[in-house]
Amino acid sequence: MSAQSPITSAMDHAAVTAIRVLSMDAVQKANSGHPGTPVALAPVTYAIWNRFLRYDPLQPLWPDRDRYVLSCGHASMLLYSMIHLACVRNMDHDGRVLDEVSLPLDQIKQFRQIDSRTPGHPEYRHTAGVETTTGPLGNGAGNSVGMAIAGKWLASRYNKPGFDLFTYRVYAQVSDGCLMEGVASEAASLAGHLKLDNLVWVYDNNHITIEGETSLAFSENVGARFEAYGWHVLHINDANCLEAISQCFADAAQTKGKPTLVVLNSRIAWGVPGKENHHSAHGEPLGATAIEGAKANYGVDPKSQFSVPPEAYEAFRLGMAAKGALESAKWAATFSSYAKSYPELAKELELMNSHKLPEKWDAALTAFPWGEFDDPKNPGKKKVAAVASRDAGGKVINALAKNIPWMLGGSADLAPSTKTRLTFEGAGDFEAGTYGGRNLHFGIREHAMGAILNGIALCNLLPYGSGFLIFSDYGRGALRLGSLMNIPAMYVFTHDSIGVGEDGPTHQPIEQLASLRAIPGMLVLRPADANEVSEAYRAALLHNHSPSCIILTRQELTTFDRTECAPATGLHKGAYVLLDAQGGKPDVILIGTGSEVELCVSAKKVLDAKGIQTRVVSMPSWELFESYCGNNPAYRESVLPNAIRARVAVEMGSPFGWERYTGLDGSILGMRSFGASGPFKGLLKKFGFTLENLVELATSQVAGKNPISR
């Protein structure tokens, strides 16, 4: 520390030792976990937290706090030790600070136990002081890029002369494993391109993974790679030297126009006799003998357990806590003055940080017209109103984003196809040096896009990302983590079926809808026409406690006549009776999503003419339907009466899961192969998505037969 610091070297030693001891003891007691990395990284992590991180333990959600991300989440005891020693306050699920610490010593002792606040990998919202859920390697690194992007955007919009509301930096610790994963490489490439100089990654170059030496599979020059990305690269050769570490971070803080990578040469389980650089320390307890030897080496009673000297707490009280309290109080005072000078912007920030939408946020949405219109291409002829749901989505997202200033996003290089570019005046592009734009360009980096969206959402902005539905697989890890964290990142996936035609099975999504629906908490919406698209976006934005996926078509869909059909607001119940049988007594129920609802409507006309009373149910969201019926069980019966067993579900995707709505005796018209390359209309015939086939399936159902579902 500097000469002015009240923290002595003895306090530094006590704190670093406490981090190591707590980590070793917790893993040993649980007989599970990764002790080596926390032991080795204790000095550098202590330096980040207690010398550089602007963080107030009493106000864990202070908006301009620096962010710390442990991307190598298997080293979770490292983070838990820091939260414990810093006495970070606990919070409830609404973000209110409680009069208790997040991780008392009893919670450290419950590491990896059921219902403890110290799970095997850090979990956002589960443990106060954890900024993001990490563990799957590389995703935390991607999150940190999103946080840095959010910081730049917030500063560009809200900082004013004399009012620097957003100046925070993001520190992420990454491992060899993180940097082998493609998601971290994608994110690092974009961060360098965007010149995010508020971002620092600390690379733990310890040469060890689960299988042994990294040389088995990893021999590149990481520093040179990051220099090629456009990063500022620094090196620390002694992972135990606090002064060398501190000088390195001071250098990083002065770097402009580049993110910084700090290459830390460490040995796993550094300082544990017999365990240095031994791969067994990576994923299993050190053992009582090694721990006793380490404690003796540190000057700690070898037989003590979970022993924390007062000097360790005092170091954090005099360091992080004292500085953080001053900084957060200064920010609060600045914001109070700011609110008087810029009341509208201050109101935006208050709404944003309380996860609320502005008044009249959806006022610009208007109903899409239906009916017949003069066809400009064929004078004298009429044309039925029809629009591809991706085109409708483009209009809707612009109408919404214009009234929600903190809604921003982009595409994995597909915005012209997904129609997600914001085109209203002032929308602009988020680019290096001009960080106020609301159109993000992720490049062809689907996984990083998802991880970055999660990081942006963790900063209380409303981000969206888009791409083709088939490529949702490339970003699935981030999709799952976003759902695990219950954060409202929004995804717009287009080209939703074999409707992509000649592109063939490599681009025709089959199992993707089923796989997205399988993610707990994920909201999947597949609207059937333009007006359902509007409601889908409304539902996604109102559903602010988890991610959402809006699934849209490339091909045109007829806009249903809502004077004959039920209102599109039925979407918010997940499923609704679009067109009913005479007297509300159907012989058969056709259930469709997306583009297939139109086929069901056409089949109803034929079936009705044959004397088969038919109900058409539009079911854009299984999740909303199950949620609504959970609170309103009679609604399920009103839409899908238990007595009506003749049912056909229609979706150009895997039939997996549809049995819950058709019953075992119902038919499912779905895809049981990967599709084929050819004109769209030919594919519909090949795979049975024709009026004739649907009518035949429905007729057979009414006759009590159970034809083989396609």
Strand order in the sheet with 576-579: 576-579, 614-618, 588-592, 647-650, 667-669
pLDDT band at 4 (very low <50, low <70, confident <90, very high): low
Residue 305 CB partners (closer than 8 Å, separation 6+): 25, 29
pLDDT band at 708 (very low <50, low <70, confident <90, very high): low
Which position has the token pair 């200064």? 330
Q: Which CATH class is domain 372-557?
A: alpha beta
pLDDT of residue 208: 80
Grouping H, G, I as helix, E, B as strand and the rest as coil, residue 122 is coil
Q: Which of the listed CATH numbers 3.20.190.10, 1.10.357.10, 2.70.70.10, 3.40.50.920 matches domain 569-702?
A: 3.40.50.920
pLDDT of residue 279: 44
Distance CA 98, CA 359 (A): 30
Distance CA 367, CA 482 (A): 32
pLDDT in tens, 609-638: 999 999 999 999 999 999 999 999 999 999
Q: Which amino acid is at 205?
A: N
Measured CA distances, 710 to 382, 617, 653, 685 (Å): 35, 20, 11, 12
pLDDT in tens, 126-138: 999 999 999 999 9
Which position has the token pair 């984003």? 401
Distance CA 496, CA 357 (A): 29
pLDDT of residue 272: 61
pLDDT of residue 285: 86
DSSP string, 578-630: EE--GGG--SEEEEE-TTHHHHHHHHHHHHHHTT--EEEEE-S-HHHHHHHHH
**Number of other CB atoms surrounding residue 427 within 10 Å:** 16
Helices 9-30 and 76-85: crossing angle in degrees, nearest 10, is 130
Instruction: Indicate the CATH number for domain 9-331.
Output: 3.40.50.970
Distance CA 79, CA 38 (A): 8
pLDDT of residue 706: 67
HEC string of 480-534 equals HHHHHHCCCCEEEEECCCHHHHHHCCCCCCCCHHHHHHCCCCCEEECCCCHHHHH
HEC string of 640-699 equals CCCCCCCEEEECCCCCCCCHHHHCCCCEEECCCCCCCCCCHHHHHHHCCCCHHHHHHHHH
Compute the half-sphere exposure of residue 556: CA atoms within 13 Å on the CB side of its CA: 7
Span 486-504, mean pLDDT? 96
pLDDT of residue 211: 84
Distance CA 209, CA 408 (A): 38
Span 242-269, mean pLDDT? 93
**Which residue ranges make up each domain of the chain?**
9-331, 372-557, 569-702
Which position has the token pair 């979407």? 571
Q: What residues are labeled active site? A: 446
pLDDT in tens, 46-59: 999 999 999 999 99
Q: What letter does residue 314 receive in the DSSP assignment?
A: H
Q: Do domains 372-557 and 569-702 have the same CATH topology?
A: yes
Span 499-510, mean pLDDT? 95
Distance CA 409, CA 540 (A): 15
DSSP string, 538-566: HHHHH-TTS-EEEE--SSEEE---TTTSP
pLDDT of residue 186: 98
Assess contact for 493 and 145: CB atoms under 8 A.
Answer: no
